[in-house]
A and B are shown apart, each in its own frame.
Chain A
Amino acid sequence: MTSEIGDAGEKYRDKIRDEDDLDVSWQDLYDIVNGKPVYRSVPVKSNPNITFGSDTYGNGGSGSGNGGGRGDSGWTVLDRSDILGVEKNWGIKFTKRGKKEKVTLEFLVGKRGYQENQDETLKAMLERQIATGEYDKKGFHIDVQEDDVRYNTVEEKANPEESAHFIIVRDVSGSMSTTEELSYKAALYIAIGLQEMYKDKVTRVYVRHEDSAEEVSEEDFFKTGPGGGTAFGPAYRTVLAMLEGTEYTTKLNYPRKIDHEAEDVYVLHISDGGNWGEQDTSEAVDALGKILPKVTRFMYMQIGNESNFANTMRGITNEKLKVITTDNEPSIENVKKAVTALFN
């Protein structure tokens, strides 16, 4: 570091360790380790300002996507340090061959293929214009013809790395307003833990549901507050659609297709179990029956014992299915206890 910045980097590292009133969030940055791109989460502090926005209405708290969730309404802070001390492996197994990866080989340029190479296309266009004398007559102009178009050739190869998907499904219906803090913290705890322990090996997928379900980004997932009715069928059908590559609602750019034959898939559903009753239960169980053969493990965490859905789930005999119930105490100890029960 040069003299202009001096020891500012060291001051930053000290500052991160300080206990103060600054806001903390986490920022994911790429890094390269052993020639391979990986994510690294870096803590970011900021001084408080008088600023726009409201977070006093139980909206599930805000938090940066990958951790460092900051609870509102007096929620205790769940920090990355809470993950320390938890066992280093949550039993995520990589039993399948790993995901395929499409690699674009830039040097293989042909006339047919998946993706147009605009540079090469424009060069070919210009060469044609010069060769045919068109350039001398009209000067430079864009006039791409079919024969000018050049494509990148795409090669498929199996990625030898272990990989898995972890789908977190969270009930954000109105009935969750009293159990929301625990549900939020458990989901956040697992998201941080997956990132810490498995980094880029495990792809985290987020589905939120009330009486409808949708896939959302990590950031949106942790910003969602409770509201609306509850149905499990749409949530399970969304998971099934991801596994089968059929249409479902997503807030991301395009729907996901998880290759469950190549990758291990883990699903966790967190809810208070208060769904719409028999018809929805039947639809959910039906979808679950189609999900189970495709996944490595399906975990259901029910907060509170007021609903029978946990019992319904316990009635399904399948070694891939894990069902736990927990009380509504939102302490970090209870979160750890519930997560340990889920993974063991």
Chain B
Amino acid sequence: MEKELPDIIVKDGSLEDERYTKIARDIAGFALNKLNLSFGNVEFRLVDNDTMAEQMALYSDPLPTWYTGQEYVMSRRSLLGVHSSLYEMVGHTQYKALNDKVYTVVYLNKNDEEHEIRGVIAHVYGHLHANANNFICKQYSQDLGQHAAYRRRYRALEELVGRKEVERVFDLGQTLSSLVDLYPDFRVKKEDKYYSKDEKLPDKDEYDVFGFLMKTTPMREWERETLEMVRDIYAPIREVRVHIMHEGFATFVQEKYALEAAKTDPVMSMKMEKLIYDIATPLSEGQLPYAMGFRLFKDIENRWNKGKHGIEFELLPEEEKKNFDSHENKGLEKILEVMKFGTDWDFLFSFADETFINSYVKEAVEEAEGYMRREMAGEYTPDQIEGILPSQLEMYRESMDPDELRFELLHQTESYMPTLYIPRGGANYKDGVLIKEDLSVLERYVTETDREKRKEELEEIKSGFAPFLTLNNETTYKAVNRISKWINKPVYLKTIDEDGSDITIFSNGEDVDFEYDDDDDSH
């Protein structure tokens, strides 16, 4: 039995665009019934570049601040210029949308051609499914009505206490907005006995540093209100952990629709396919979420359709593996399961195996060769090109070493932001507050089983990762200084330097400095 369609409408200005509404409903029917997606009501709005730029800015920061103005100027210049296009902009999703008469608003570029709009609508349904089903995205829905209320309140506060004053607190909020618990599932959990029964503040390690400082720092009511607004609007920052999956899945849905369209309109289908591969190119670092996510979902679909997974399959001889097909046909089911429970790290760690990464790199090198040939054509003779190309391709190939690529991707997805916490009792550390960088994520790289050897190996790993994990830089200094000034107490930040030695960065709100630690005395 076919699923009931949610309410879907495409508007151009205040009027419904009946043709595109029908197209959007047809694509929704395909996505819901053939791909088994689920999402709520959608209002597509066909808008010009100017409105698109404005919505991009408000998505980054829904308050009417200088930062929103900056985002608006950047995106407007970018979209009105000659080098950039943006196909869609999904507004913040509201999860009540699944069972309530609330619409997720999606902006489509009215300058696009029909094949682009069709593909983009399918792409958007992929995003909406991910938003409504993935365990991280589900937690951080945003209420657009609330955003509008925040804007009004922000302006009222500007009237009340002055624009620069409110801006000062907003700036502080941006500095604090990254002090949230991004990786609760990654850090090593401490046992109960770790905590003694003495009264301490905080009484256990506190990873929501922003929240804790808000609770314990005296401030005026309007300052608290402004910081609470900032804290709320930046909550979806956590969705960065599913960025590759999000874009990959949306592109996967887009291609499924393009293939479906080939049955009735092959030329339209070809154009949609071309658009997909232009966007999901492995040549551009910025497009990696599309390129890798899309290909990895396709790979999963293929493997689970053919039953090419599990121990029995792995034990087969290599030759048999190539042509193995048990007709399991569980590709789509597997993909929806991965989308529901996964993060980018799980996605890459579990599925981007050696075979996949090698094939991804091979495709990237082939594309690079085509690109270089096109760029050099006309500038060089064919003989010169054949002379130059091999060494350039070799350099590119070296920069795409499969082992390094996989390692880097895993490292990136487990460290978008530092994991920071105030240790138990850290609110009364010396004469100020202690913040520590949690490096327990590194324990997953330890292979030794013996306790002493594990410790030694961990130290080696720590010093290997130190250049990437150290916080010893100018912008951190400024941030620590700001926080200290705000709470009116010294702040001590324990981290490592780029060689892996323990250091403490400290500030009294005026000056900032660092020193090497003699020992780790945080507890």
Residues of A that sit less than 8 Å from B by CB: 1-2, 4-15, 20-23, 27, 29-32, 37, 40, 42, 44-45, 47-57, 70, 72, 102, 114-115, 118-119, 122-123, 126, 139-140, 154, 156, 245, 247, 250, 253-255, 257
**A61 CB to closest chain B CB, in angstroms?**
10
Q: Give Cα A36 to B98, complex, Å.
A: 48
The digit string for B134-160, where 1 denotes a CB below 8 A from any CB of A, is: 000000000000001001000100000
Q: Which residues of B contact A42 (CB under 8 A)?
A: 73-74, 77
Contact residue among B73, B376, B418, B468 (Cβ-Cβ distance under 8 Å from A254): B376
**26 sampled A-B residue pairs with Cβ under 8 A:** A2-B51, A5-B64, A7-B69, A8-B65, A8-B66, A9-B69, A11-B64, A12-B70, A29-B74, A45-B66, A47-B171, A48-B478, A49-B479, A50-B179, A52-B415, A52-B468, A53-B473, A54-B473, A54-B498, A57-B498, A119-B274, A122-B267, A126-B270, A154-B378, A254-B388, A257-B380
Could you tell me if B497 and A54 are in contact, using CB atoms closer than 8 angstroms?
Answer: yes
Q: Which residues of B contact A50 (CB under 8 A)?
A: 178-179, 418, 420, 435, 471, 476, 479-480, 493
Q: Which residues of B contact A56 (CB under 8 A)?
A: 472-473, 497-498
Q: 6 more A-B contacts (CB under 8 A) besides A48-B479, A51-B178, A52-B473?
A: A2-B51, A7-B69, A15-B70, A54-B473, A140-B266, A245-B384
Q: Which residue of A is nearest B168, CB measured?
A: A20
Could you tell me if B384 and A21 are in contact, using CB atoms closer than 8 angstroms?
Answer: no
Could you tell me if A12 and B66 are in contact, using CB atoms closer than 8 angstroms?
Answer: yes
Question: B81 on the interface (CB 8 Å rule)?
Answer: yes
Residues 475-510 of B at the A interface (beta carbon under 8 Å): 475-482, 493, 497-498
Given A12-B69, A51-B471, A255-B392, A29 contacting B375 (CB threshold 8 A): no
**A35 CB to closest chain B CB, in angstroms?**
11
Residues of B that sit less than 8 Å from A by CB: 51, 54, 57-58, 64-70, 72-74, 77-78, 80-84, 148, 151, 155, 163, 167, 171, 174-175, 178-179, 262-263, 266-267, 269-271, 274, 368, 371-372, 374-380, 384, 387-388, 391-392, 415, 417-418, 420, 435, 467-482, 493, 497-498
**B484 CB to closest chain A CB, in angstroms?**
12
Q: Which of A15, A32, A45, A245 has the most CB of B within 10 A?
A: A15
Q: Which residues of B contact A245 (CB under 8 A)?
A: 379-380, 384
Q: Give Cα A9 to B77, complex, Å.
A: 13
Given A40-B77, A50-B420, A115-B374, A6 contacting B473 (CB threshold 8 A): no
Q: Give Cα A92 to B151, complex, Å.
A: 50
Q: Give Cα A31 to B84, complex, Å.
A: 11
Q: Give Cα A6 to B69, complex, Å.
A: 9
Q: Give Cα A21 to B481, complex, Å.
A: 10
Given A51-B178, A122-B270, A8 contacting B378 (CB threshold 8 A): no
Could you tell me if B58 and A5 are in contact, using CB atoms closer than 8 angstroms?
Answer: yes
Q: Which residue of A is nearest B483, CB measured?
A: A50
Q: Which residue of B is nearest A7, CB measured?
A: B64
Could you tell me if A11 and B69 are in contact, using CB atoms closer than 8 angstroms?
Answer: yes
Could you tell me if B72 and A9 are in contact, using CB atoms closer than 8 angstroms?
Answer: yes
Could you tell me if A6 and B476 are in contact, using CB atoms closer than 8 angstroms?
Answer: no
Q: Which of A6, A42, A156, A254 has the most CB of B within 10 A?
A: A254
Could you tell me if B262 and A49 are in contact, using CB atoms closer than 8 angstroms?
Answer: no
Given A11-B66, A48-B478, A52-B469, A29 contacting B420 (CB threshold 8 A): no
Q: Which residue of B is nearest A47, CB measured?
A: B174
Could you tell me if A123 and B65 are in contact, using CB atoms closer than 8 angstroms?
Answer: no
Given A6-B155, A52-B471, A245-B380, A29 contacting B479 (CB threshold 8 A): no
Could you tell me if A30 and B83 are in contact, using CB atoms closer than 8 angstroms?
Answer: yes
Could you tell me if A49 and B178 are in contact, using CB atoms closer than 8 angstroms?
Answer: yes
